[in-house]
Amino acid sequence: MSRHGVNVALMLFSVFQASFLSDQPEPYLPFLSHFIETQMFATFIDNKIISQWEEKDPFLRVFDSRIEKIRLYNVRAPALRTSNYQKCSTLKEAAQSIEQRLMKIDHTAIHPHLLDMKIGQGKYEQGFFPKLQSDVLATGPTNNNRWASRSATTQRRKDRLRQHSEHIGLDNDLREVGGICKQHEMFTPKKYMQEARSLGKNLRQPKLSDLSPAVIAQTNSKFVEGLLKECRMKTKRMLVEKMGHEAVELGHGEANITGLEENTLIASLCDLLERIWSHGLQVKQGKSALWSHLLQYQEREEKQEHSAESPVAVGTERRKSDTGITLPTLRVSLIQDMRHVQNMSEIKTDVGRARAWIRLSLEKKLLSQHLKQLLSNQPLAKKLYKRYAFLRCEEEREQFLYHLLSLNAVDYFCFTSVFTTIVIPYRAVIIPIKKLSNAITTSNPWICVSGELGDTGVMQIPKNLLEMTFECQNLGKLTTVQIGHDNSGLLAKWLVDCVMVRNEITGHTYKFPCGRWLGKGVDDGSLERILIGELVSSTSDEELGKQCRTPPQQKSPTTARRLSITSLTGKNTKPNAGQIQEGIGEAVNNIVKHFHKPEKERGSLTILLCGENGLVAALEQVFHHGFKSARIFHKNVFIWDFVEKAVAYFETSDQIGDNEEALLLQRSSCKTFCHYVNAINTAPRNIGKDGKFQILVCLGTRDHLLPQWIPLLAECPLITRMYEENALLRDRMTVNSLIRVLQTLQDFNIVLEGSLIKGVDV
C-alpha cells in the first residue's frame, strides 16, 4: 500500500475511533481508549471476521456464549434487553432466567392506607371492572415512610459526590497522561481520548452541576457555538467532496479530500444531528433523540389531521400536459417521509430509522425544510428541551438550518444507493401525441423499466390506461425504458411522445423521450423502442407540467438524429458537414472524459452512447449526410437498408487486394461485420431499423470494431448508388479523420447496459 493509502487508512481509523469514543459515557473513556489499542482487541476483531468462514477460536466461543447468557438472563446487562422475541435454547435455561429475575426483585411496598375518596366511590358491580377515579390517579403518592424518604435523599447525595469525585479523578488521570504524552509523542490513546473528548471543540454536553450561573451560561454558549461551527464545516466538506475536482479548481479544499467516501461524511452528519438533538433534553427518551422528537411531532400532527378531517374528500392535485395526460403531484410531507421509513422492515432500531429519514430527506433536498417544520412547533420544543438547549437558541438554529440548506446545491442518492433491497412503488405515465395518432392503442402494450440495480421485467399495461403504478425491488437510478405492443387490433399504430417514471418515495422523476411510432407499416416498422432516460430537475409544478411533453425541436434522441429523413413538424434543417464533424468529436471527447474522471464522479455511459448528443446520434448524422432517402413508391429508405445491402454484397463477393496481409484483415473485418448484422436481424425482438443501427453502433463501440467497419462501408461499391457525390462517407480524408477519432476509444473497457443488447447473441 502506498504512503498516501496508509495515511488515508490511519486518518479514517482515527475518525472512527474518535466517533466511537465520543458516544461512550465519560467514566469509561480511560479504559476504552487504552483497550482498543491493545493486541488483544485487534486479535479479537480478526478472529470474529475469520469465524464467518472458519471454525471459531476457543476464546471467541467462550466470549460469545457469555454474551448470549447475559442477553438471556438479563442480570448484569439490563440495557441489552430488547422488545424483540428471544428464542430459548432449552426449557431449563428459560426457567433459570426467570428465577434469576425473581431473585433480583427490588421493591418496597408502602403500608396500607385509606384512599382519598368519598364514601361509595369504590363500589363496583360484580363482574365488571370498577371505574377508575381520575382525580385520585392524577395526584402523586403520599410517602409516609420517613426512612424511605431519608434513604432516597441520602442516596442522591452519595451519587452526586461519587460522580464529582470520579470527574476529579478522571481529570487528574488525564493530566498525568498528558504529562506522559509530552514526553512520548507517539502515545496514541491520549490523542484519541482528546479527539473524543473535544470533538468539535468540546462538543460533549457540559456538566452544569456545581457551577455558577455565569459559568454555566458561558460554557453552554461555547458548546452551542461549537456545534454550529461543526455544522458549517461538515456541510462545506460535503459540498466540496460532492463537487470533486471542480471544487479543487475553484480553490475550495485540497485534491486529496476526494479520497473520503461520501457515505462517511453523511454518517458524520447524522452523528452531528443526533448530538444537536440530544443537547438540553428535559428527559431522554429512546436511543435516538431526533427520532423521539419526530415521533411526538407525528403523533400531534396525526391527531390534528383526524380532528380536522371533513366528510368531503379532496382529490389529488395533478399536473396537466398539453396532451391532456395528467401526472399526479407528489405532496411534500414530513410525516409521509417518516411513514416510508417506518414501513421499512429492514431497519430495527430508532437510530437506524433516524439515519434513514435523514438520508431520504437529504436525497429529496428537503432536510432543511423538514427540520424547520419540525422546529416550528414551539410548544413541543419547549416541552422536550430546556431553555439553554441548542434547538431553543433562535439565532444559532436559523444559521444551522441555513447551512443544511446549502446541501440542496448538489444531488445526493444516499438513500437510493444504500437501501438497495427495499421494495419501492413507482408510477409510470405514457404520453402520446394525440394530434397525429390515437391516444390509446387497441393492441396489448407492455413496458420494462431498467435501472442501475436491475429491471422490472416485461409488465403488461392495462388496456385503455396510460398510467400505471407498480412495486418492485429498488432499481437504483433509472436508465432505460423498453416499450412496445403486439400489433393486434384495428388501431395498432401508436405515436408515443415520451414516458415519465417516478419513484414514489424519493420523488425522482425520469423522462424517457420517444417521439416515434410503434406499429408495422409506419416509420421504421418498430413494435418496440428502447428509450434513454434523463432525470428531471426538481422545479415548480408549472414547469414540470410543461416537461411532461417533449418540445418539437427535440422530440427524442432518435428523432433529432433523423433530421435529413422525416420530421413530424417539417421545420428541421439539415446540419452541414462541419457541424457533423464537430458533433462526432464532441461525442467521442465526452466518452474519453467519462473514463478519465474518478469512478464516483462518472455519469451514465448509456446517455453518452445513445443520448441526444451521444455517439450513436453523431454517427447517424454522418451516415445521413448525402444519403439518397427519396421515397421510392412511397417507401422510406433507412441507413439499415444500406447496411443490409452491404452485408449481402460482402457475403457474395470475393475481396481482391495487392497486399495479402491487408486482404486477410479485410476478410476478417467483413466476416465480423456480417456476423454482427445477422445476429441483430435474427434477434427475437421487434426493433425497427433505426433501433437495429443503434445496437450495431453500441456493439461496435464495446468490441472496438468501428474503426474497421467504417472503411468497409466507405469502400463498398453500393455507396455510389445510395449516397450523393458530396457525402461525407465518399470523402476519403473525412473517413480517415473519423477513423482516427474513433480509435481513441480503443483503450477503454466499455460495458453496455443489458437492455440495449438484450436478445442479441454475439
Q: For position 316, what pLDDT does the model report?
A: 43
In tens, the pLDDT along 298-312 reads: 998 888 877 665 443
Task: In whole angstroms, give the CA distance from residue 359 to residue 484.
Answer: 36
Q: Is there a contact between 482 and 447 (Cβ–Cβ < 8 Å)?
A: yes
From residue 310, alpha-carbon distances to 306, 314, 336 in Å are 9, 9, 20
Which helix H or strand E contains 561, and what residues bound it?
helix 557-561
In a domain, 48, yes or no: yes
Which CATH number is 516's domain given? 2.60.60.20
Domain shared by 385 and 430, yes or no: no
How far apart CA 552 and CA 563 sit, in angstroms, is 12
Residues 6 or more apart from 116 whose CB is under 8 A from it? 136, 139
3-state secondary structure of 579: helix
Give the pLDDT of residue 487.
Answer: 82
Pick the last residue of a domain from 501, 517, 550.
550
Distance CA 130, CA 137 (A): 14
Least confident among 335-339, 380-384, 439-443: 439-443
Helices 39-50 and 58-73: crossing angle in degrees, nearest 10, is 90
Q: Comparing 206-215, 338-347, 579-588, 624-633, which segment has the lowest mean pLDDT?
A: 206-215
State how far the Cα of 201 lies from the Cα of 230, in Å rounded to an integer: 9
Q: Are residues 440 and 567 in the same domain?
A: no
Does residue 20 surpass a pLDDT of 90?
Answer: no
* pLDDT of 585 higher than 60: yes
Max avg pLDDT among 126-130, 158-162, 241-245: 126-130
Q: Look at residue 15 in the predicted model and tell me its pLDDT.
A: 56
pLDDT tier at 315, thresholds 50, 70, 90? very low
The per-residue pLDDT for range 702-737, each reduced to its tens digit, is 999 999 999 989 888 888 888 888 888 888 999 999
CB atoms within 10 A of CB 153: 10
716: Cβ contacts below 8 Å, ≥ 6 apart: 646, 649, 650
Q: Given this model, what pLDDT does residue 432 score?
A: 87
- Of 550, 579, 596, the last residue of a domain is 550
Both 446 and 389 in one domain: the answer is no
> 478 falls in which pLDDT band (50, 70, 90)?
very high
516 and 563 fall within a common domain: no
Amino acid (1-letter code) at residue 120: G
| pLDDT recorded at residue 6 | 44
Cell of 91: 426449557
Is the same domain home to 270 and 254? yes
Write b or e for each residue in 322-361: b if 16 or more Cβ atoms lie within 10 A of its Cβ, otherwise e.
ebebbbbebeeebeebbebbeebeebeebbbbbbbbbbbb
Single pTM value for the model? 0.66
Predicted confidence band of residue 359 (pLDDT cuts 50, 70, 90) = very high
Does 418 fall in a domain? Answer: no
More confident residue, 246 or 561: 246
Domain assignment of residue 464, yes or no: yes
User: Side chain identity at 445, as an amino acid letter?
Assistant: P
Lowest-pLDDT range, 350-359, 409-418, 441-450, 531-540? 531-540
Give percent of the chain with pLDDT exceeding 70: 67
Model pLDDT, residue 635:
65
In a domain, 202, yes or no: no
Q: Do 428 and 288 sit in the same domain of this protein?
A: no
What does pLDDT average to over the chain? 75
311 located within any domain: no
How many angstroms separate the CA atoms of 243 and 585, rounded? Answer: 26
Confidence check: pLDDT of 203 > 80: no
169 versus 215: which is more confidently predicted?
A: 215
- Dump pLDDT digits (tens) for 185-200: 333 444 444 544 454 4
Length of the chain: 762
pLDDT of residue 202: 47
Return the C-alpha torsion angle 396, 402, 404, 405, nearest 10. 160
> Is pLDDT of 348 > 70?
yes
pLDDT band for 254, please (50, 70, 90 cuts).
Answer: very low
536 belongs to a structural domain: yes
Are 26 and 78 members of one domain?
Answer: yes
Report the pLDDT value the prediction gives residue 319, as an integer from 0 to 100: 46
CATH of the domain at 598: 1.20.58.900
Do 762 and 674 belong together in one domain?
yes
Q: Does one domain contain both 529 and 587?
A: no
| Average pLDDT estimate for 648-672 | 75
Please give the torsion angle defined by the CA atoms of residues 241, 246, 251 and 255, in that order, rounded to the nearest 10 degrees. Answer: 60
Query: In total, how many domains does the chain have?
Result: 4
Q: Does residue 576 share a domain with residue 525?
A: no
CA angle 536, 542, 543 (to 5 degrees): 35
CA distance 171 to 534: 58
Q: What percent of the chain has pLDDT over 90?
A: 22
* The last residue of a domain, from among 364, 381, 409: 409
517-530, pLDDT tens digit by residue? 888 888 788 888 99
Overall average pLDDT of the 657-677 stretch: 78
Q: Looking at the domain assignment, is residue 292 inside a domain?
A: yes
Q: What residues contact residue 566 under an 8 Å CB cut-off, 6+ apart?
A: 523, 636
**pLDDT tens digit sequence for 730-762:** 889 999 999 999 999 998 999 998 888 888 887
pLDDT at 27: 80
Asked if the structure places residue 126 within a domain, the reply is no
Sequence-distant (≥ 6) Cβ neighbours of residue 72 within 8 angstroms: 86, 88, 93, 97
**Range from 166-175, 644-653, 741-750 carrying the lowest mean pLDDT:** 166-175
Residues 80 and 184 in one domain: yes
Residue type for position 382 = K
Q: Per-residue pLDDT averaged across 365-392, rounded?
A: 90
Query: Is the Cα dihedral 373, 374, 375, 380 positive or negative?
Result: positive
Q: Is 50 exceeded by the pLDDT of residue 414? A: yes
Q: Is the pLDDT of residue 154 over 80?
A: no
Q: Are residues 272 and 392 in the same domain?
A: yes
Decide if pLDDT at 441 tops 70.
yes
pLDDT tens column, 324-335 = 566 688 888 899
Q: Does position 224 have pLDDT exceeding 50, yes or no?
A: yes
Query: Please, is 712 exposed, middle or buried when counting C-beta atoms within 10 Å of its C-beta (0-12, 13-18, 19+)?
Result: middle
- 484 bridge partner residues: 446, 528
CA distance 233 to 239: 10
Q: Which domain holds residue 624?
A: 557-762
